[in-house]
Amino acid sequence: MYVRELGEPDETAAAGAAARLRVAEKFFQTYKTDCQGISLPLTLSKTALSWRDQERLLEKRIQDLPKILEDKADLDRRQRLWSDKRVFGDPTLEARRVQELIDRTGALSPKAWQIEMFKLAVRAGYPAGYAFDSLARELARAKCALSKHRWKEWAPCDGQEEDETETISQQVAEHFVSTELGQQLKSQTIKCDNAAKWCEVNFPNGITINVSFADIPSRLVATQIKPNLGVSRGYEYLCPRIPPTFPSARPVVSLKRL
C-alpha cells in the first residue's frame, strides 16, 4: 500500500502546517482566477529548473513580452518584404539582387524568418517553434503560468492533485477500502472527470469509490457509491516533493483522516 498515514504532529508542526495550507489556499484561488479560460502549452521549457529559477523565468517573461511581441511584429514586417520571384536568369546576378534587397530593406526569407522566430521563442523561455498570439493573450497566459507555478510550489502535492488525479484517486480509494471497509482490494478501473473534480475507482465485488477533488487544497473526500451508498471520509493529504529533475515521477500520498 503506497498510501501512508500522517502521524499526529506536535503543536509547532501543526501550526506550521496550518499556515502553509492557508498560503496554498490563497495561491490556489489566485491561480484559478488568473487561469480562467486560459489554455497553457503542455511544455514551456524542456530545461529542468529549480522552483525559484522557474519563477524568475516566468516573472521575466511577463516583463519582456511587450518588447518580444514588438520584435515579432518587426520580423513579420521584414518577412512580408521578401519575394521568391526571380528577376535575373543568371545565378550570380540574382544572388547579388537578393543581397541588395536584404541590405536595403532588411527583408527576411521564410527560412531566415523561422530562425529568428525560434530565437525569439527561446528568448521568452518557450521551446523553439512556439507560436505567439496577441500581446494581451500572451500576457494573460504568462500571468496564468506564474500563478500556477506559485500554487504548485505551495500545494500539498505540488499541484499533482490536478495533474495526476487518476494516480492519487487510486491511492486514496485503495486506502479507503482497506481502512473503512476492511478489505484488501486492488482497483480495477478508474474513470475521472477533471472538470467535475472527481474520479470513480472500481473494485471487485461491485465496489465503487468516488474520490472528490472539489475541496483541494484543504482535503480529499472518498465516498462509497456502489453497490450501495456508504460512508464518506475526508482526508488531509500531503505528498513528498517531486524534484524538477524527475518531473515524470508519480506522487505518493500520505493521508490523515478528518
> For 83-99, how does the pLDDT look when each residue is reduced to its tens digit (9 = 90+)?
888 888 888 888 888 89
For residues 142 and 40, the answer to whether their CB atoms sit within 8 Å is: no
Q: Is 226 helix (H, G, I), strand (E, B) or coil?
A: strand
φ/ψ (deg, to 5) at 162: -105, -40
d(CA 101, CA 82): 8
**Which residue(s) pair with 200 in the sheet?**
191, 210
Instruction: List, run by run, the mean pLDDT of 10-residue segments along the chain (258 residues).
Output: 53 78 93 91 61 90 96 95 85 87 90 94 88 95 94 91 93 96 95 92 96 95 96 92 63 89
Type and span of the H or E element at 4: strand 4-5
pTM of the model: 0.78
Q: Is 230 helix (H, G, I), strand (E, B) or coil?
A: coil
| Burial state string for 132-169 with b = 16 or more CB within 10 A and e = fewer than 16 | beeeeebbbbbbbbbbbbbbbbbbbbbbbbbebbbbbb
Determine the pLDDT at residue 252.
86
Tens digits of residue pLDDT in 182-196: 999 999 999 999 888
d(CA 208, CA 190): 9
- C-alpha cell, 93: 546576378
Determine the pLDDT at residue 2.
43
